[in-house]
A and B are shown apart, each in its own frame.
Chain A
């Protein structure tokens, strides 16, 4: 049963990921991305990470992708042709990445397949609490660094916006 769900989600994620970059209409690309986010969330649910699944949809599908659509609609592009002549470069990179993945898979199958991660579904206190505890104890430093980076990005955005207004006032 779990395998059926995994292969369904994985197949849809792979297909829609390709569609995101392959479709000519940017709005369709955004929709394919939306479907992909949902299936990634579904994958999280099969791993008993409900909190992560909900956050995935709230943040990526609910906020970030809406902003993408906002920009796409504002520019009102019917179809984008500029970025469709990168096939040689993209093909080269794709082949390299694929060989890398295949090599890694072969290696892991021969050497490290014994060290399978023990299946440890978070039960009892619920995985929201577990995520919180892990973030604020074990991974406190990376967490704070990530917040700092976001803060810098925010201040940067504010400065960029402010500069514009000052120039307008001077004119």
Chain B
């Protein structure tokens, strides 16, 4: 009975988070086209609904009813498995993200943390682990399609993900050194009390370099412009998902956007204070409305995440795609030394000026 109830509460939490993520993905597909349109002096989608706001629903319906084609000569089993392998890791990472303040509420006689599904003590490593699994979907999707373009896309993705995952991991180490924990909840709590405590500018050693390395590497890891070589449309048709159609294509598409949201959440939680407001406490808390303070925290978290998501669109509208050798040289010869140097300097600073 006890276990059943706990399971039900956990499933409800998971369903709520998945719902919010899927809704955000829907908003993002529209927002990206709108933002790109405005930046290029166009209107963006305008046909479906007022100002085109119903476009994501139309897109979803279209993909749902499209014919599902499996190319002749493709490996059917892996061709089916690849989109699932891409989507599941992207979704699973949200389990450890703290969306709001750490608090417990009593529900049916149990302690429930409403704003984080599972506060495990290796939260950030858990996200890194599953982010690296996401590459399998792309690689296997490229291989199983039995097409040259797909295979090239998959190969590029394998090399790119390995190179840039390293930089993501090393950029995070500085923050872990300062906060002394791998749990995203504890890392966020360590940044409370105003924007000067956020790890991007916090004493003893501001993680501004790590932040830049993290943002660039996470753009590369999510295969977004200017690092979208696995799906470079002017070279490889559509890269690893050239042969995919219908819902299988939609799975890859949703996985890409879910990954964007995930890396944005991690960036907000690690470097920009997560759900902490840029001033001590919360305005609603100071006004004596402590019970409603969580709304303000959640809004701040959402604002930071959407800032990063806007950055993704901004980069897409601004920068041309890198060449493959430039990508590798940049990753290994520029980003890696900066990330390693940041770890050494942060370690020295944290040793002499413990927080």
Task: Provide the A59-70 mask, 1 if CB < 8 A to any CB of B, else 0.
Answer: 001110011011
| Least CB distance, B219 to chain A, in whole angstroms | 19
* Cα–Cα, bound, A128→B165 (Å): 21
* Cα–Cα, bound, A27→B162 (Å): 18
* Cα–Cα, bound, A126→B182 (Å): 10
* Cα–Cα, bound, A74→B139 (Å): 11
Q: DSSP class of B's interface residues: helix, strand, loop or mixed?
A: helix
Q: Which of B129-137, B298-306, B344-352 contacts A (4 or more CB under 8 A)?
A: B129-137
| A54 and B122 within 8 A (CB) | yes
* Cα–Cα, bound, A34→B135 (Å): 12
| Least CB distance, B115 to chain A, in whole angstroms | 21
| A34 and B121 within 8 A (CB) | no
| A62 and B165 within 8 A (CB) | yes
| A63 and B140 within 8 A (CB) | no
Q: Say whether B158 faces chain A, with CB atoms less than 8 Å apart.
A: yes
| A27 and B140 within 8 A (CB) | yes
Q: Say whether B63 faces chain A, with CB atoms less than 8 Å apart.
A: no
* Cα–Cα, bound, A27→B143 (Å): 9
Q: DSSP class of A's interface residues: helix, strand, loop or mixed?
A: helix
| With contact pairs A66-B135, A73-B143, A73-B155 given, residues A50 and B129 touching in the complex (Cβ less than 8 Å) | no
> Which residues from chain B sit less than 8 Å from chain A, CB to CB?
75, 78, 120-122, 125-126, 128-133, 135-136, 139-140, 142-143, 151, 154-155, 158-159, 161-162, 165-166, 169, 182
Q: Which of A53, A58, A66 contacts B128 (CB 8 A)?
A: A58
| B125 and A54 within 8 A (CB) | yes
| Least CB distance, A131 to chain B, in whole angstroms | 11
Contacts of B155 in A (CB 8 A): 70, 73-74
Please provide the chain A residues from 120 to 139 with a CB less than 8 Å away from any CB of chain B in the complex.
126, 128
* Cα–Cα, bound, A67→B162 (Å): 8
| B139 and A54 within 8 A (CB) | no
| A58 and B158 within 8 A (CB) | no
* Cα–Cα, bound, A164→B334 (Å): 23
Please provide the chain A residues from 94 to 148 with a CB less than 8 Å away from any CB of chain B in the complex.
126, 128
* Cα–Cα, bound, A19→B232 (Å): 36
